[in-house]
Structure formats: C-alpha cells, structure tokens
A and B are shown apart, each in its own frame.
Chain A
Amino acid sequence: MRKLYINGISSISPQNEAIFKGSTPQQYENNILPAQAQDYKSLLQPMMLRRMSKGVKMGLFCAKKALDEAEVKIPDVILVGTGQGCMEDTEKFLSNMLESEEGLLSPTSFIQSTHNTVAGQIALDLNCNGHNMTFTQNSVSFESALIDALLQQNDQNIKNILVGGVDETSNELTGFQRLDGQIKKEGHRNLELYSSQTSGTIISEAAAFFALGSEKLKHSYAEFKDVEIINSLDEKILESRIENFLKRNDLLVSQIDAVILGKNGDIRFDQYYDQLQNGMFSATCQLGYKHLVGDNNAISSYAFWLASKILKEKKIPRIFKLNALNCARPRNILIYNQYLGRNHGLILLQDL
C-alpha cells in the first residue's frame, strides 16, 4: 500500500502556532474561545474576504498555507471535516427568515450556509476540479475526512490530498450550547480546564489543514498511518478496541511514545480518558490540548497538527503535557478523542 506523508500543515486556533516554540499561552475566561486574528489579506483577496464567514476565511487561509508549504499548487482531492458547518450564515438567514416571517430575503447567507461551503470555496479559489468532500459527524468530522483520504489514495493517480478540519462559532447557535449543558455554566479559565469538577466544556473556533502527499519531501513532517471511528462503545471495551487498532498497524501499546487525549474537563465524560491515563497508557507520555484551544467538532485536527509538529521537531512542549513522563524520541503518536461519550476517533501518526 502507498504511504501518505504530511507535507504541509497550518493551524488557526485560540493559540498562536508559536505556542509550540514556548510562547505564553492565551488565557480565556468566558468559555467560548475566539481564534487568533490572522493577516488574512496576505493570502485572500480583500473583496472576497468581506463576504466570507469566519469558517471559510480560516479554512481557505489554512488550506493555502499548508499547500504552499508542501509546494502543491492544486491538490487532487479536497476533504473537509466540519461539525457545525457555516453557523454564522445559517444563523443569519434563519433569523432574517423568522423575523420577517418568511418575507423577502437576500440569498447571500443562504448560499453560504451550506455545509460544504468551505470545501467549495477552496476548490473555487484553487480552481481545483478534483474529488471534493465534506464530512459532518460531531467529533469525528475530521476523522471521517481522514478515512476518505485513505480511500482516495488507493487510486494511483492521486498524489496530493488536502484535508482539514474547521468549525466556527456564532452568537445564538453557539450560545444555545450553554443551555443544553455542552458549555460550562460558570466562566472557567481555560488553563485550569482539567481541574474543573463541573459538567460541560469550553467551545472554540479553529481550523487546521494538511497537505498529504504520496511522496516524501525533505521537509515532510510525519506519516499519517491510519484512522478509525466508532460511533458508540462501552467504556469497558475501549482499551481492547485501541489494541486492535494498533495491532492492525503492527504496533504494541508499548510502542506508542505519546498519546494525545481530547480531555475536555466535562466530568460526565472524561472517564474515557482517565481510564486510558490510569490503564493502558499509564506508562506513556500523555498530552492534552483542549485547555489551550477549547473543544469543537473538528478540533482533533488541532491534535493532528500537534502530533505532526512533535514528530518533526522531536520535542514536546511542556504546556501540552498531562503527566510527568518524558519521551526522548517520539516515533508513534496516537490521538484519541470523543465528545459527550459518543463519536470516538483514533488517529495514528508515525515519524519518518
């Protein structure tokens, strides 16, 4: 089977990418974390920018940066995972429609409310006629896109695949998540997320995109090995499912050098991670990221970004660490994430 190399990466999140180099982390207290501002104009046309929602902006910007780094002009495939999709425009059209009681409406926000707007806009910008897919399945939206990456690379003509995760927030629709217990009731400092004894989490807007290629470059980051999604599972069999996943990739638990966990401070569901921390990965270097970038349906793409950085630079910044164990030479990194106890995702990356 052909290999898939991570040849370009880019992330926009509530933290700067420089956090990997040790810059001071951004702190938030109101449980909805905005993405860091970017110089969007450097890559996107100002006229287009004005019409773009945050998700489209972040997605297109990251896509271009990742492709640039991989020296790819037009990828063969564009894959996007986005849970909530284009919430800003959905909310805009919905509230205009309700307020006007189905009166005369401008189509602009309706046009841009479609879930595949980001993937479509990337294709439009790059003039890319290739396979173009958008997945939206809660916390495995990005993982679903990764599955498609593996499927598409079975075609020998496919050389470069752009894959990414993006989710934006909007006032009302994201605000509703405070009402149904998804977002913590009381304002919570992001850096103290894991010591929270309450339900709910902190939600964010973010995007991360990757240029995957069948050819290894001098500056490639890592190899994307495998991915699996499991819609629902009993906590008791989580460990055996992970073992099977590793076995499929000829790996033992002891060969995992670092595990990146999607722990989000929700006391109702963090036991999935606790179990792994105290169980099969108790002797493994454990990392977390949601205390820095919050949670959203495509945030595992941030973990993918983090794993890529670690495998290339062979270092693990302390700010991500959940335990005191070190890992001198990270080779295999496992990413595990779930949301509200459902939609479990496993991703495996390997060094070159």
Chain B
Amino acid sequence: MKGIAVTGMGIISAIGSNLEEIYSSLISGKDGISYPEILATNHTNLPVGEIKLSDLELSEILNLPKAHFYTRTALLAMHAIKELLKKSELAQFPEDTGFISGTSVGGIDKIEAHFYDFQDIVEYRKYIQAQHPGFTTEKIAEYFGLTQTVTTISTACSSSANAIMMGAQLIESGRLKRVIVGGSDCLTKFTLNGFSSLKILSENKNRPFDNDREGLNLGEAAAYLLLEAEDCIKGKPVLGRVKGYGNSNDAFHQTASSENGEGAFQAISKAIKKAGILSSEIDYINVHGTATRNNDLSESVALKRIFGRNVPDFSSTKSFTGHSLGAAGAVEAVFSLLSIQNNEIFPNLNFDTEMSETGLTPVTNFQKKKIRTVLSNSFGFGGNCTSLIFQKDA
C-alpha cells in the first residue's frame, strides 16, 4: 500500500504566514515566541507563539466585508486553506471535496469577548453559536463553498492529527475522493488562563526534552493538507503519503500522561503496523514534545519502549511555534512533509541537558539527512494519543 497522497498544504503560525516564510524560519532556527501583543490579556509575562496579525488585518488580507462573523480560529484556517488552494492549481475546490477540521478552542475568543454583551448588544449575538466549535468549521466551509461532508474533531491537542487520520480513512474506504484535513486554534484568554491554572506554562522560551524544562508556551496556528484518492492525482506532484496512523487512549488521567507512556506506545505501535514498516525504517520523529515535565518524560519512555536503544533522530518543533493545541498535529504534519521534501531535520531549540531519567538527546542543529519516513506524535487531554507516519512518494 502506497498510503494516501498529500497533494496540497497551507499553513500560518507564529513563525510565518505562509510555507515559504515558515520554511525559512525553520532552517534558520528563528522561533516565533514573544510576549502577547494581539491577545488582550493581563498575563503579559507569559511568552506565546502569537501570529502578529490582528483579526482586522487578517480580515483585510482575506478581503472580507467589515461586518462578518468569523472567529479568529476561522480567520487563521481560511488564511491557511487559501494558500493551499492557491498552490493547488485549482480555481476552487470541487464540489465533492470533504472538510474535516480539528479544533480545541473553536470560537471561545468571541464568547469570552462578548459574554457580558450578549444580553444588551444585539450585533454581537451572531457570535452566540460560536460556543460550538462546529460553527467555526461551518463558516470556513461556507467561505470555500464546501457543502458536503463537513465535520469537526475536538480531542484537545490531538484534534488535527485525528482529522488527518480520519481523512485518510475516508479516502481509503472509498467514501471520499478528496478531503481537506487539518486544524486551527487561536490564542484565547480561556486557554492561556486554563493552562496557567494548571501551572504548566513556562515564563521562558520552552525547552522540549531538556532536563530543566519549565513548561510549554501556548501558540496559535492553522494548517491544512489536501488528501486525494489515486484517480484524482493525474500527474499532480505528490508532497508525501499518509502511510500510517493510530489513535489510542492512555486511560490514565484526564490531563496527565502515564508514567509508562502506554497511550503513546500503543498509538505509535498502531501507526507502524498500519504503515507496514519496521520501526527501524523511521528516519525522523517530530515528537509531541510540549516541554512540560510530564509529557516529555512520558513520551521519552514510550519512545524507548518502541525503539529501544535506537531511538531515531527526533526534535520538537514546538520550540519554534509554541503549542498550538488542536492545530499542532497539522502544523507538525506540514513540518514533517517539509522534512521529507527537503531531506532536512529542523532543530529542537533551547535544549541544553538531557533528561536524567531517559538520557535522550534531540537534534539541536539544522541537519541535512536523507529522509524517507517520518513519525509525528500528537497527544492531548482526555488521554488522547495519535501518531501519524508520513512517507516520501515512491
């Protein structure tokens, strides 16, 4: 089995508003971690991976009318999908194109901004439905004329990885010919305060897999892939293949990962099995690596359980982007595909000392290396663990 073809991608994140900008940041080691300027929060001491475009600026770039009802998550998604469309040589998406979007935050930005206004100010009431993440997805679909199979997956930080997995399965089963998959999440006070209350935000730039890591930086991003069935490709360039996938539940705790990394272990195992490869064929792992004490240790243990002494080259690119929650899986899928296309590994920034428990060292400098197969991990609240395997088109 060749795997499902990826024929397009689009992305916006704190390190750039299109593929070229993002690629150039990745190869030059330029992170997008800064203090919040767009998000109106009191927590100005907490670094974030913020996209320095206001909602208004994003709306102008997208040529939207002044009075629209798009949430920031929708604006970011539309920006990314527009890039995907532009590069796909399609004038517009064919009518039968499906759309599976992953999001954790959805339209909470509008709810937190207008919570006290809905009662009195009629014009804000168009955002009442934004509580529901599907509303954001639906508005994105509307903008691109996607009218058929449209749905939202919300499994916290693995949402968009799961959307990619579902899209691949929809094509494999013959239910769809073509599907846009990925996810979007914006920074909100809700999530920043939420993670702050859990005491897992770092006041410095995040240091994935470092022994002295202090926690994560929250980020925002949107990234989408176009997946197509074989008979739709017709000579189009294939950016890579979704070769394997697996989802498993850690069944340990609502937010914390287990000590033995069981969920991660099972998700990776399933993905390898589905891909029909040996674990030794994996050239690079884009790890989940949030830089919290708990995740990175648990993920390290899982990696050691799978790969033994031969853990492949790995890095956490969250050191560039921050943790963009539901969008992270798709962002890192794009990075994985860039790695495959360019035969490069993007570094794990801010790493100094290996973890005393597992002694694993990530790739800390930009590296050229022949990359055929990449494993990408995304783990979320509710014990939700997803692994994807991407492979170079043969």
- A interface, CB within 8 angstroms of B: 78, 83-85, 87, 90, 93-95, 97-98, 101-102, 104-107, 110-117, 119-121, 123-124, 126-138, 140-141, 144, 147-148, 150-151, 154, 172-173, 176-177, 179-180, 182, 229-233, 297, 342-343
Contact = CB atoms under 8 A, between A and B. Distances in A.
Given A137-B151, A151-B170, A110 B249 contact: no
Interface string B139-178: 0011000111111111110000010001001101101000
B304 interface: no
Contacts of A127: 251
Interface of B: 41-43, 99, 104, 106, 108, 111-112, 115-116, 118-119, 125-126, 128-129, 131-135, 137-138, 141-142, 146-156, 162, 166, 169-170, 172-173, 175, 189-190, 193-194, 196-199, 247-255, 262-263, 266, 380-384
B194 A116 contact: no
Contact of B155 (A93, A121, A132, A180): A132
Contacts of B150: 137, 229, 231, 343
A195 B386 CA distance: 48
B240 to A, nearest CB: 22
Given A120-B381, A297-B132, A232 B169 contact: no
Contact of A134 (B155, B169, B197, B251): B155
B154 A129 contact: no
In this complex, the member of B134, B150, B175, B263 whose beta carbon has the largest number of chain A beta carbons within 10 angstroms is B134
Given A94-B115, A135-B151, A87 B131 contact: yes
Contacts of B152: 135-137, 144
Give the interface SS of chain A, mostly helix, strand, loop or mixed: mixed
Contacts of A85: 132-133, 154
A41 to B, nearest CB: 21
8 contacts: A97-B193, A104-B197, A120-B383, A129-B250, A132-B249, A135-B152, A138-B132, A297-B134
A107 B263 CA distance: 23
B180 to A, nearest CB: 13
B173 A120 contact: no
A131 B248 contact: yes
Contacts of A97: 112, 189-190, 193
A176 B118 contact: yes
A163 to B, nearest CB: 14
Contacts of A133: 153, 155, 162, 166, 247
A132 B247 contact: yes
A247 B356 CA distance: 62
Q: Which of A107, A140, A297 has the most CB of B within 10 A?
A: A107
B111 A132 contact: no
B128 A124 contact: no
Contacts of A111: 198, 254-255, 381
B133 A115 contact: yes
A233 B112 CA distance: 32
B190 A94 contact: yes
A154 B251 contact: no
Contact of A116 (B172, B248, B250, B382): B382
A131 B69 CA distance: 34
B149 to A, nearest CB: 6
A136 B132 contact: yes
A150 B135 CA distance: 25
A95 B115 CA distance: 8
A98 B190 CA distance: 9
A106 B197 contact: yes
A318 B382 CA distance: 42
Contacts of B141: 231
A112 B254 contact: yes
A262 to B, nearest CB: 16
A116 B116 CA distance: 27
B220 to A, nearest CB: 17
A71 to B, nearest CB: 21
Contacts of A90: 108, 131
Of all A-B residue pairs in the complex, the 5 with the closest CB atoms, nearest first, are A120-B382, A115-B154, A110-B194, A231-B150, A107-B197
